[in-house]
Amino acid sequence: MAGAQNLEKAPYYITTPIYYVNDSPHIGHVYTTLACDVLARFMRLDGRDVKFLTGTDEHGQKVERSAQARGTDPQAFTDKMSRNFRDLSGPWKFTNDDFIRTTEERHVHACQDLWRKLKDAGDIYLGSYAGWYAVRDEAFYGEDELTDGEDGRKYAPSGAEVDWVEEPSYFFRLSAWQDRLLRFYQDNPDFIGPDARRNEVISFVKSGLRDLSVSRTTFAWGIQVPDDPAHIMYVWLDALTNYITAVGYPDTEAPDYRKFWPADLHMVGKDILRFHAVYWPAFLMAADLEPPKRVYAHGWWTNEGQKISKSLGNVIDAYQLINDYGLDQARYFLLREVPFGNDGDFSHRAMVSRINNDLANDFGNLAQRVLSMIHKNCDGKIPEPGELMPSDESLLAATQAVLPKMRSELSVQAFHRSLEAVWAVVGQANRYVDEMAPWVLRKTDRARMETVLYVLADVIRQLAIVTQPFMPDAPAALLDQLGQPHDARDFASLPTRLEPGRAIAKPSGVFPRYVEEERQDAS
């Protein structure tokens, strides 16, 4: 069914930022990749040909120093550290189609080709750099962006120490792109989301752009500048290029490049928006390549009201989270609890509330009691419906309206509102059960009972289908219990009603309650 739709629907290319190998995977990395995974799953179920990319950023002075501190070479260090991020996909059930590493030969080739195009266009020139550089951020900062620490050192807005650096450097003529970038933002109002971040970027560009140092000579771990091996490329020029490397660049006639570029969405954290929304479109346009269609910057998480940091010992471990609460539960919470784009606070109490109220009480209990009544009162088969009443039609219409709402909300990365649309129908279905009281109809009007249970079973089927992108396991278990074949679980299957007489499995709960006494603290 989905295959027929592929001819009608545009391909969809979504990317995470590539994660810096010096970090260990934590809730921030999971959050970004999870959001992309939900969109990738949604678009596949909606009949679109999807490419979902993630990977690791493996060059730079910080990596070189870390490898030296461990007594190993940078390549061996990055081989080991990159695996930590690749391994996240298993337990979290991420469905990325590719995992790119910036140390791969295909990427070196792409970066050097892009460099040549920028230089041939006159947008790269050789000069010398003198200014402040933060190794931790792999970023240059102006004097006006720095603060003085009590220790007499200067610090970047991120809190990273900066050092004064003087060295020969190639520069990208970013200053020449100020007006063209502003015009690009004006012509493409959806390029940056959410709106507050868009306004920040426009304000930054309007304040004046300085040419950008795009090479280094004081360390060696990076991609060599073509025709000048004394220089290596600035790590951000290298890193950003991964998005086109993965679709076959520099072969702009490659099937994946023609199909997927420009990317539909680069998902990033708000701390790296400037690189993606200012530098990246300027690099691409200078090379006569199309910029991506959209860059979305999400917020950060705190833990029980505190900033997350290693020094405070409150980093939320990516694996412990699903061990403590469950995979579907953790995925649901992260995208439902906080309006996407805002900062959010993780708390145990909020997580338990979502698990027990939204999942167990609302959706889980709806499915369990309806399927149990069918199994007990309808010989374990989907009943034959009679004539539908206005109340039945109203619930079915509300259910059928969910997918268009989800499409609309997810097109602007409003994950929380997409889930709210689903749960509005869950609530309506629970009220319908109470109003129709099929346990009473069993004694007074069996035919009506069967119609009510049929309507509810089909609503549960549709809700299970549309929640699959968010939760890989429980909706699949519900569709199993309803006897739905695997080729009838995409969005094209939604209008096809349940087949009366189909046997259903003996129902079992798919959203267990969280019992506080069973919690095992990480300590």
Phi and psi at residue 108, to the nearest 5°: -55, -45
Using a 10 angstrom Cβ sphere, with 0-12 exposed, 13-18 middle and 19 or more buried, the burial of residue 436 is buried
Assess if residue 433 is contained within a domain: yes
Overall average pLDDT of the 294-308 stretch = 88
398-410: pLDDT as tens digits: 999 999 999 999 9
438-465: pLDDT as tens digits: 999 999 999 999 999 999 999 999 999 9
- Alpha carbons 54 and 25: distance in angstroms, whole number: 13
CB 108 within 8 Å of CB 58: no
Other CB atoms closer than 10 Å to residue 218's CB: what's the count?
11
Assess if residue 511 is contained within a domain: no
Q: What pLDDT, on a 0 to 100 scale, did the predictor assign at position 304?
A: 85
Assess if residue 27 is contained within a domain: no
For residue 470, what are the contacts with CB-CB under 8 A and spacing of at least 6?
Answer: 38, 328, 331, 332, 335, 415, 419
Overall average pLDDT of the 422-441 stretch = 98
Band the pLDDT of 203: cuts 50, 70, 90: very high
59-85: pLDDT as tens digits: 998 899 999 999 999 999 999 999 999
Q: What is the DSSP letter of 381?
A: B
Mean pLDDT across the chain = 94
329-350: pLDDT as tens digits: 999 999 999 999 899 889 999 9
Overall average pLDDT of the 42-56 stretch = 98
Q: What pLDDT, on a 0 to 100 scale, did the predictor assign at position 1?
A: 38
480-498: pLDDT as tens digits: 999 999 999 999 999 999 9
- Alpha carbons 485 and 470: distance in angstroms, whole number: 20
**Stronger pLDDT, 511 or 26, i.e. the higher one:** 511
Band the pLDDT of 522: cuts 50, 70, 90: very low
CATH number at residue 394: 1.10.730.10
Other CB atoms closer than 10 Å to residue 470's CB: what's the count?
23
User: Is beta strand 306-307 parallel, antiparallel or unpaired with respect to 301-303?
Assistant: antiparallel
**Stronger pLDDT, 121 or 165, i.e. the higher one:** 121
Other CB atoms closer than 10 Å to residue 111's CB: what's the count?
28
- Alpha carbons 510 and 457: distance in angstroms, whole number: 15
CB 34 within 8 Å of CB 331: yes
Assess if residue 480 is contained within a domain: yes
Q: Of all helices (H) and strands (E), which one includes residue 448? A: helix 446-467
Assess if residue 425 is contained within a domain: yes
Radius of gyration (C-alpha) of the chain in whole angstroms: 26
Lowest mean pLDDT among 2-16, 93-107, 198-212, 478-492: 2-16
User: What is the dihedral sign for C-alpha 494, 495, 496, 502?
Assistant: positive
Query: What are the CA-CA distances from residue 397 to residues 367, 457, 491 (Å)?
Result: 19, 14, 16
- Alpha carbons 232 and 400: distance in angstroms, whole number: 55
Q: What pLDDT, on a 0 to 100 scale, did the predictor assign at position 26?
A: 86
Band the pLDDT of 130: cuts 50, 70, 90: confident
The answer on pLDDT for 122 being more than 60 is yes
Sheet containing 212-213: order of strands:
139-141, 124-134, 163-172, 212-213
CB 468 within 8 Å of CB 41: yes
Overall average pLDDT of the 241-250 stretch = 98
Q: What residues make up the domain containing 451?
A: 348-493
Assess if residue 413 is contained within a domain: yes
Using a 10 angstrom Cβ sphere, with 0-12 exposed, 13-18 middle and 19 or more buried, the burial of residue 164 is exposed
CB 374 within 8 Å of CB 449: no
Assess if residue 298 is contained within a domain: no
Q: What pLDDT, on a 0 to 100 scale, did the predictor assign at position 267?
A: 98
Q: What pLDDT, on a 0 to 100 scale, did the predictor assign at position 167?
A: 87
Lowest mean pLDDT among 98-112, 138-152, 165-179, 195-209: 138-152
Q: What pLDDT, on a 0 to 100 scale, did the predictor assign at position 158?
A: 85
Half-sphere exposure of 410 (CA within 13 A, CB side): 28
Q: What pLDDT, on a 0 to 100 scale, did the predictor assign at position 517?
A: 67
> Which H, E and C letters describe 123-167, residue by residue?
CEEEEEEEEEEECCCCEEECHHHCEECCCCCEECCCCCECEEEEE
Overall average pLDDT of the 357-363 stretch = 98
Overall average pLDDT of the 196-206 stretch = 98
- Alpha carbons 399 and 392: distance in angstroms, whole number: 11
Overall average pLDDT of the 99-128 stretch = 97
Assess if residue 258 is contained within a domain: no
Q: Which structure tokens are listed for 493?
A: 């299957």
Query: What are the CA-CA distances from residue 498 to residues 449, 454, 459, 505 (Å)?
Result: 16, 8, 10, 15
Q: What pLDDT, on a 0 to 100 scale, did the predictor assign at position 22?
A: 85
Overall average pLDDT of the 250-274 stretch = 97
Q: What is the total count of domains within the chain?
A: 1
Band the pLDDT of 4: cuts 50, 70, 90: very low
Q: What is the DSSP letter of 270?
A: G
Q: Of all helices (H) and strands (E), which one includes residue 233? A: strand 228-233
